[in-house]
Amino acid sequence: MTSHAMRDAWYPVGLLSGLSEGGKDSLLLGENITVFGSATGAPSVECSGRTLPVVRRFGHLWTSLGTPDKDLFTIPEADHPERVRVDVGVVRVKCSPLRAVENFLDIAHFPFVHTDILGAESHPEVSEYKVEIRDEVDEVWATKVEFFQPQAARSAGGGITTEYMYRVPAPTCAVLYKTCPPRPGAWDVIALFVQPLTEDLCDVWPWMALFDDESALTDLIHFQQLIFLQDRSILENQIPKRLPLDPAKETPTRADLTSVAYRRWLKRHNFTYGAQLVAG
Amino acid sequence: MILYDYILSPSCYKVRLLASLLGAPLDLRPVDFHPGREHKAAELLALNPAGSIPILVDGDLVLTESAAILAYLAAQKGGYWLAGDAPAAIARHQQWLDFSHRLTQALGGARLVEMLHFEGDLAALQTRGVAALRELEAALFVQRLGGQSYLIRDTPSIADIACFPYVALAPDGSIPLDPYPSIRIWMRAIRALPGFIEMPGIHRRHDLAPDPFAEVPS
Ligand SMILES: N[C@H](CCC(=O)N[C@@H](CS)C(=O)NCC(=O)O)C(=O)O
Ligand SMILES: [Fe+2]
């Protein structure tokens, strides 16, 4: 059964630029939904005869099966007029939606999964950084994450040490901010919006808002798809399939700090669709 | 030579892979295949009315079939990757190049439906994909018994390169490769070729499991 807490959250269900007026069938938390585009700019989502609430934001259509108690989060940095906002397009992954988010938060996999792009096997170490659950906004944040990267972005000329911040504003969404090679001092924004189809199947909608005057849009899309498809190979082979959450203990077995905080936050809110409750 | 390319396209990867194995430089022109469907827009349809990629442009020559592009690259580098002169070898080579289109349609089709939301009858594509894999497995098994590592002989040809990518990516279309040991050994041999390059989902060769009796360096 779907836990109530997750029914009340917002989820991406399509690219605003790719909706069809005739409707497209999909799934949300195991329930059948139909996503309708609209020539007059008012797309809608239906679920067994019910019209669901919708929000249009970040180039995507968002909906909820329940009654969200707050608006969909915002990414104020992404509104900057000089940024290029990039719809990367959907990729279906046979994995738990929570696993997809957790992998996105974990920097330690870069040298091994994104070898010679986001990480180098010769520089696997992640130095200490700060992780907190910010109660006032109810989000997980990791800051001061530093990492050596051979090709940090499409626009990077060579190896640099990149600084990252990670943010989890919704149970199946994560946003990262990283040093922007052409503009020292500014941050690139890369987000992973995950639509939970079932507990072990999801549609992932990566999205970006970048300062990049040089690269063509298609290059930016391909760069991000390359990275995400490398993750997909790993995600589909994770065992156990669902994200293990220990109902009693605070610390999961894996040591990544952001992952610990994410799991703790999920447990606190009873966000357990795609999780497996295990003691041990 | 300009290759109209998409990073996630196994058909484009065939060309990138052979070019790398041959040491032939390519100018890549990225095509927004997903989500932009640029291959179906006017500029590319003018080059290739079939609305597919890869497309290779070399001066006046425009090639829109991956098998033809592989043949063109191989012929420019002395023909080592081509079939040679023996009639049977020429024919078997051509047979596998044609067979590679079945892989594209069935395994590639299943992958596009499963991974990128394309339209298609998944179950029918998977059925045809499995039939093609069984045929390939049987042929590679016979080759191996005869001491040959590749599809037409003991050295690789463009037929191997034409068949390899969609086979390796079959799991993306939810078709597991575990039941095909000869295919797995063949893929391992291809991944070991000098100049081999990866694409997402096709990894470089990992080492065998570490020797449990090896001395641990202190
Ligand atoms: N002409 C075939 C086409 C290969 C193929 O199927 N390419 C895919 C991308 S991987 C494509 O462009 N599909 C779009 C379509 O056929 O409509 C070849 O060169 O082998
Ligand atoms: Fe990754």
Note the pLDDT of residue A252. Answer: 47
| B41 contacts chain A (CB < 8 A) | no
> Over chain A, what is the mean pLDDT?
91
Measured CA angle at B32 (ends B29, B37), to 5 deg: 135
Note the pLDDT of residue B118. Answer: 93
Where does the pLDDT of residue A160 fall: very low under 50, low under 70, confident under 90, or very high at 90 and above?
confident
Taking the C-alpha atoms of residue B211 and residue B152, their distance in angstroms, rounded to an integer, is 34
Question: Is the distance from the beta carbon of residue B143 to the nearest atom of ligand 1 less than 6 Å?
Answer: no
User: Hey, do A4-63 and A80-276 end up sharing a CATH topology, with the first three levels equal?
Assistant: no
Chain B residues 56-75 with CB within 8 Å of chain A: none
Taking the C-alpha atoms of residue B160 and residue B155, their distance in angstroms, rounded to an integer, is 10
Helix or strand holding residue B1 (H, E) = none
Note the pLDDT of residue A254. Answer: 45
| A89 contacts chain B (CB < 8 A) | yes
Tokens 């509104």 identify what position? A79
For the beta sheet containing A50-52, the strands, ordered from the edge strand earlier in sequence to the opposite edge, are A24-28, A31-36, A44-47, A50-52
Q: Which two structure tokens, joined as six digits, stand for A202? A: 């999801």
Q: Which two structure tokens, joined as six digits, stand for A245? A: 């959450």
Pick the CATH number of A4-63 from 1.10.10.60, 2.60.120.10, 2.20.25.680, 2.60.40.3880: 2.20.25.680
Closest listed ligand to the CA of B10? 1
**In the beta sheet, which residues pair with residue A198?**
A201
Note the pLDDT of residue B159. Answer: 98
* Facing residue for B201 by CB, picked from A87, A222, A233: A233
- Yes or no, beta carbons of A225 and B200 under 8 Å apart: yes
For residues B10 and B17, the answer to whether their CB atoms sit within 8 Å is no
Lowest mean pLDDT among A147-151, A203-207, B82-86: A147-151
Note the pLDDT of residue A128. Answer: 87
- Give strand ranges (E) for chain B: 2-5, 27-30, 55-58, 61-63
**If DSSP states are collapsed to H, E and C, what string results for B8-19?**
CCHHHHHHHHHH
Query: Splitting chain B (218 residues) into consecutive groups of 10 residues, what average pLDDT does each group show?
Result: 97 98 97 95 97 98 98 96 96 98 98 95 98 98 97 97 98 96 97 94 72 68
Question: Which CATH fold topology does B2-76 show?
Answer: Glutaredoxin (3.40.30)
For residues B47 and B57, the answer to whether their CB atoms sit within 8 Å is yes
Q: Whose CA is nearest to atom 20 of ligand 1?
A: B66
Q: Parse chain A into domains and list their residue ranges.
A: 4-63, 80-276
Return all residues near B43 (Cβ < 8 A) that are at least 6 apart. Answer: none
Note the pLDDT of residue B91. Answer: 97
For chain B, where do the domains classified as CATH 3.40.30.10 start and end?
Answer: 2-76
Question: Is the distance from the beta carbon of residue B66 to the nearest atom of ligand 1 less than 6 Å?
Answer: yes
* Facing residue for B34 by CB, picked from A89, A226, A233: A89
User: Which residue, A206, A208, A244, is CA-closest to A104?
Assistant: A206
Coil, helix or strand at residue A212? coil
Lowest mean pLDDT among A49-53, A69-73, A256-260, B184-188: A256-260
CATH, range B87-193: 1.20.1050.10
Backbone dihedral angles phi then psi of residue B196, each to the nearest 5 degrees: -60, 140
Backbone dihedral angles phi then psi of residue B209, each to the nearest 5 degrees: -55, 140
For chain B, where do the domains classified as CATH 1.20.1050.10 start and end?
Answer: 87-193
Coil, helix or strand at residue A151? coil
Largest CA distance in chain B: 64
Q: Which residue in B has a C-alpha nearest to residue A114's C-alpha?
A: B200
pLDDT higher than 50, residue A50: yes
pLDDT higher than 90, residue A91: yes
Note the pLDDT of residue A206. Answer: 97
User: A80-276 falls under which CATH superfamily?
Assistant: Naphthalene 1,2-dioxygenase Alpha Subunit; Chain A, domain 1 (3.90.380.10)
Note the pLDDT of residue A123. Answer: 87
- Yes or no, beta carbons of A18 and B35 under 8 Å apart: yes
Here the contacts of A123-132 (C-beta below 8 Å, separation 24 or greater) are A123/A147, A123/A148, A129/A257, A131/A257, A131/A258, A131/A260, A131/A261, A132/A261
Largest CA distance in chain A: 56
CA of B52, closest atom in ligand 1: 12
Note the pLDDT of residue A278. Answer: 78
Taking the C-alpha atoms of residue B81 and residue B22, their distance in angstroms, rounded to an integer, is 9
Note the pLDDT of residue A184. Answer: 80
pLDDT higher than 80, residue A3: no
Where does the pLDDT of residue A253 fall: very low under 50, low under 70, confident under 90, or very high at 90 and above?
very low
